[in-house]
Amino acid sequence: MTLRPDLDVRPVTEAEHPAWIRTLHTGFLRPPKVSAAEVAGRGAALASSRTLGAFDAGAPRVGGAAPVVATFRSFDQELTAVGGTPVPANAITNVSVAATHRRRGLLTRMMTQDLAAAKERGDVVATLIAAEYPIYGRYGFGPAAWAAQWTVDVPRAGLDPRWSGPEGGGRIDLADGAEVRRTGPGLHERLRRVQPGAVSRGERWWRIATGELRVSDEPWTEPFHAVYRSADGTVEGLVTYDCDDTWGDAKQPQNTLRVRDLVAVTPAAERALWHYLCSVDWITSVRSGWRAPDDLLPLLLPDPRAAGIVTQADFLWVRILDVRRALETRTCEGRGALVLDVADPAGLAGGRLLLDASPEGVSCTPTTRSADLALEVGELAALWLGDESAVRLAALGRVREERAGAARKADALLRTSRRAWCPDIF
Ligand SMILES: CC(=O)SCCNC(=O)CCNC(=O)[C@H](O)C(C)(C)COP(=O)(O)OP(=O)(O)OC[C@H]1O[C@@H](n2cnc3c(N)ncnc32)[C@H](O)[C@@H]1OP(=O)(O)O
């Protein structure tokens, strides 16, 4: 790795936004052009001292300035812990380093700077959606919530073709973007209060999802929105989807419906919305979008084999910055005490801590007692949302039992009955 003193990492100014966006597009292999509309659409999100750029003073100047050769941005977010309490999170996004400047330590510089600032602010975790698995473990991140995507072969699913709506008095109605902006945020707030791994959505998220705010020059396709209401009229579910227009030579419909977002706060709403999506005439295939790996979807179908997993992968990565607060914020179903020896080579978190957990509450205090389980902070992140098994990590040699049976005990305390899920890419 060649470290170069003429590579300056610093917050970008408003005048530098167009160059910064162009570098981001280049890094993400999108056409390297930027319109005034895109600069305006992204402006509010970029206007922060947490929008970093790397500038190469040794490169030919572009418009009289050193070119932007790397991008990085973080923003305030809340991440729901097991039990439903949110923790303050430093959400990291828009990470790119120009191919001409790769492997010179630019990502490491930007990440180190940003994580130190997040720790200083008092954020409990940092979060990101990783483009590639091998990038972020070195910075103490661990894959904390996985996701799966299904394709449903609708004709094979065995659903009753006469179905005309939900049972039990509930109803489904189509909605427009304005209604989604009114009802969606409240519904999503209900979801994230109970869904470990869910992250907060600001008003901007809803404006982008409904096409009111454009942050890219890609053509916008207006989606369909459908709302589920229970028998008493309460909104309990919302789905946003689009469809293609494909017909076979024998004049048979072969259309695919793609779910962009499905939020349901009751099992009845979730069941009804999936049933609805798989019952839209002309649709022969439904793409589920990113769901929890234990989503209800396949088992809702009379023939679950009609739902094939097309992708199953790590999704939300978490970097714990404050082990004590992270553990004390979550709940535990089990009861017991465990001494964790948490190693953090970056020195941001870690130490030896006594986890004392019961359904009544969790305490986590520094201790000098001998350790039961030794692990790195990234492994703890994978365990923290309850999605990973300490027994599994021990078998992989990634956590070490200092006392026989400690991994099984950790699982009894930390694992959850349903898996963590992050519905959002950010
Ligand atoms: C949250 C998000 O935004 S995810 C999107 C991430 N962006 C992308 O994937 C876009 C394309 N890729 C890139 O822009 C860059 O290659 C980046 C951002 C992934 C890496 O930036 P770089 O400046 O090259 O990383 P840097 O030089 O700091 O590398 C640090 C270490 O990570 C390793 N590393 C970096 N990227 C990768 C990778 N994709 N796969 C494996 N190892 C990697 C380096 O080899 C180096 O290892 P070392 O410490 O053992 O020497």
- Name the residue at shortest CA distance from atom 47 of ligand 1: 103
Q: What angle do CA 180, 182, 185 make, to 5 degrees?
A: 80
Distance 335 CA to ligand 1 centre (A): 41
Among the atoms of ligand 1, which is closest to the Cα of residue 129?
Answer: 1
Compute the distance between CA of residue 199 and CA of residue 197 in angstroms, rounded to an integer: 6
What pLDDT shows up at residue 141?
98
Pocket test for ligand 1, best of 103, 106, 109 (most atoms within 8 A of CB): 103
Distance 317 CA to ligand 1 centre (A): 15
Q: Give the containing element (helix H, strand E) for 41.
A: helix 36-46
Compute the distance between CA of residue 416 and CA of residue 422 in angstroms, rounded to an integer: 15
Q: What is the pLDDT of residues 257-309, one digit of tens each?
A: 999 999 999 999 999 999 999 999 999 999 999 999 999 999 999 999 999 99
Domains along the chain? 7-129 (3.40.630.30), 148-312 (3.40.630.30), 322-414 (3.30.1050.10)
- Name the residue at shortest CA distance from atom 43 of ligand 1: 135
What pLDDT shows up at residue 5?
72
Helix, strand, coil content of the chain in percent (nearest 5): 30, 30, 40
Q: Concatenated DSSP letters for 317-342? A: EEEES-HHHHHHHS--SS-EEEEEEE
Pocket test for ligand 1, best of 3, 4, 75, 97 (most atoms within 8 A of CB): 97
The neighbour count for residue 280, using CB atoms within 10 Å, is 15
Report yes or no: 323 and 383 within 8 Å, Cβ to Cβ.
no
Tallying the residues shown for the chain, one arrives at 426
What pLDDT shows up at residue 3?
60
Q: What is the pLDDT of residues 322-354, one digit of tens each?
A: 999 999 999 999 999 999 999 999 999 999 999
Asked if residue 6 has pLDDT above 90, the reply is no
Q: What is the mean predicted confidence (pLDDT) over 57-78?
A: 96
- Classify burial at 402, counting beta carbons within 10 Å of its beta carbon; exposed 0-12, middle 13-18, buried 19 or more: middle
Among the atoms of ligand 1, which is closest to the Cα of residue 128?
Answer: 1
Among the atoms of ligand 1, which is closest to the Cα of residue 97?
Answer: 14
Pocket test for ligand 1, best of 30, 95, 114, 136 (most atoms within 8 A of CB): 95
301-306 — which CB contacts under 8 Å span 24+ positions?
Answer: 301/152, 301/157, 301/158, 301/159, 302/157, 302/158, 302/159, 303/156, 303/157, 303/158, 305/156, 306/152, 306/153, 306/154, 306/156, 306/157, 306/158
Q: What is the pLDDT of residues 135-185, one digit of tens each?
A: 999 999 999 999 999 999 999 999 999 999 999 999 999 999 999 999 999
- Classify burial at 273, counting beta carbons within 10 Å of its beta carbon; exposed 0-12, middle 13-18, buried 19 or more: buried
Q: What is the pLDDT of residues 69-120, one digit of tens each?
A: 999 999 999 999 999 999 999 999 999 999 999 999 999 999 999 999 999 9
Report yes or no: 382 and 315 within 8 Å, Cβ to Cβ.
no
Pairing of strands 283-287, 255-264: parallel
- CA proximity to 239, closest of 188, 273, 290, 209: 273
What pLDDT shows up at residue 153?
98
- CA proximity to 86, closest of 326, 421, 386, 378: 326
Distance 73 CA to ligand 1 centre (A): 15
Instruction: List residues with catalytic annotation.
Output: 136, 426
Asked if residue 1 has pLDDT above 70, the reply is no
What pLDDT shows up at residue 346?
98
What pLDDT shows up at residue 379?
98
Report yes or no: 343 and 142 within 8 Å, Cβ to Cβ.
no
What pLDDT shows up at residue 2?
57
Compute the distance between CA of residue 388 and CA of residue 254 in angstroms, rounded to an integer: 38
* Residues lining ligand 1, Cβ inside 6 A: 1, 27-28, 92-97, 102-108, 128-132, 134-135, 138
Among the atoms of ligand 1, which is closest to the Cα of residue 136?
Answer: 32
- CA proximity to 372, closest of 387, 394, 346, 388: 394
Compute the distance between CA of residue 330 and CA of residue 310 in angstroms, rounded to an integer: 32
Binding site, annotated residues for acetyl-CoA: 95-97, 103-108
Q: What is the pLDDT of residues 345-389, one digit of tens each?
A: 999 999 999 999 999 999 999 999 999 999 999 999 999 999 999
Q: Give the containing element (helix H, strand E) for 382.
A: helix 377-384
Q: What is the mean predicted confidence (pLDDT) over 44-63?
A: 96
CA-based R_g, the chain, Å: 23
Distance 196 CA to ligand 1 centre (A): 28
What pLDDT shows up at residue 255?
98
31-40 — which CB contacts under 8 Å span 24+ positions?
Answer: 33/217, 35/217, 37/214, 37/217, 38/214, 38/215, 38/216, 38/217
Token pair in block for residue 274 = 């999936």
Binding site, annotated residues: 95-97, 103-108
What pLDDT shows up at residue 261?
98
The neighbour count for residue 423, using CB atoms within 10 Å, is 23
Distance 14 CA to ligand 1 centre (A): 26
DSSP state letter for 101: G
Distance 103 CA to ligand 1 centre (A): 7
Sign of the alpha-carbon dihedral angle for 139, 326, 48, 41: positive
**78 alpha-carbon distance from chain centroid:** 11
Q: Which residue matches tokens 């091998």?
A: 134
